[in-house]
Amino acid sequence: MKKLEALESIRGFSAAYVFVNHLHPFPGTIFESLFRFGQEAVILFFLVSGFVIYHSCASAERPQTVASFLRARAIRIYPIFLVALLLAALVAAFTDRADCIQPTSLMANLLMLQDQPTIKHGAWFAPFCSNIALWSLSYEWWFYLGFAWLFLRPLRLSVTVQRWIVASISLFGTASYLVYPSQPALFASYFAIWWAGLELARQYREESALTFRAQRFPLLLVAANAVIWLIPAIHALVMHAYISPGREPFGQIRHFGAALLFLVAGIALSRVASLPRRPLLLCSKLAPISYGLYATHYPILIFVSSLDLGKLQTFAVATPIALLVAYLVEIVMQPRISALFSGRSRRQPTPRATLESDSSGTARVQGRSNEKI
């Protein structure tokens, strides 16, 4: 399997893994520990997002402006996001939790300010009606804003200046969070992870390979953030405070540690001539519906769980429903909305086997209709 196709498979894998992590179908079994890393799967998606967004923009036939890029991103992100909000509200009403339908919470989510206050002290607003998977979409949106300002016209900066600014933003965000925890500081801190994916794409486009030497900047920046996050962790250990691996500050250490591990693995695997086809093939089939699956699956799990079925029955019922909803929003709804706003037909000739950006700005692997990947 080609490397860019393998990258697309990672997208499908990340969404599927988060779904199984939230479904939790293997309690008390040897498989339970294999699905405890849902947050790390989101970090992997951040890296992939940085890669494909840069690759798409650098491959675009026409130079994009900040306005055109953000418009394309909004067309891609918000329709399915709105469906996810509506689905969360409907499930909340059905399960007697309608008190979560609050205008303030809804507006905060629409402005992409949601996170997880239960595990991050600086988070301002929770995901709407407990659709906890939506926490990462706010990070993605603010990453897009940062990228647009640094990379696109009219203020297109040099690579060196970009890196200095990214390092300053991220390190200041991490350090300032230790003094005064806030949501903007978290967005700024995690920008280093997303930008690390961009740096991988930048070298890959220029050299068709990755090297540790050329990737020193993202490796060192992510490592530096991890070291700073160690400060409150060490303090908590010394003070014998309550420790949870999924909560602050250990959650942040997990995130940046995972990002560093993924970077090292990605650079090392880039030197492999070919990647195994079969293990990635199924994930590549899920890639086209990965965003829809990620954004909408949690309310579905809440609804099915409210039926008090057994674990096996819950898995058997929730999985096809989640896949069907993901298919409807991604394959049926989203292309029509993208075509409506772009004014272009959904059916267009596509180049062979290359990672491109569709009319909505979504990076994907494209190929001829009769070609199997």
202-256 pLDDT, tens digit per residue, is 999 998 889 999 999 999 999 999 999 999 888 888 877 777 777 888 999 999 9
The verdict on residue 213 lying in a domain is: yes
> Is the residue at 371 inside a domain?
no
Residue 172 lies in a domain: yes
Q: How many residues does the chain have?
A: 373
- Contacts with 267 (C-beta within 8 Å, 6 or more apart), sequence order: 200, 210, 211, 212, 215
Task: State how many domains the chain has.
Answer: 1
Interval 32-73: pLDDT, tens: 788 888 999 999 999 999 999 999 888 877 778 899 999 999
Residue 372 belongs to some domain of the structure: no
Residue 97 lies in a domain: yes
Q: Which residue has the higher pLDDT, 9 or 89?
A: 89
**Who's near 215: CB < 8 A, 6+ residues apart?**
199, 200, 203, 263, 267
Is residue 346 very low, low, confident or very high in pLDDT (cuts 50, 70, 90)?
Answer: very low
Domain housing 7: 3-366
Is residue 28 in some structural domain? yes
**For position 370, what pLDDT does the model report?**
31
The predicted model gives 139-159 an average pLDDT of 88
How confident is the model over 260-290, as pLDDT tens digits? 999 999 999 887 766 666 666 777 888 899 9
For residue 319, tell me if it sits in a domain: yes
pLDDT of residue 275: 63
For residue 46, the surrounding DSSP H or E stretch is helix 38-59
Q: Is residue 373 part of a domain?
A: no
Q: What is the pLDDT of residues 91-146, one digit of tens each?
A: 999 998 999 999 999 999 999 999 999 999 999 999 999 999 999 999 999 999 99
Residue 292 has pLDDT above 60, yes or no: yes
CB-side exposure of 211: number of CA atoms within 13 Å? Answer: 6
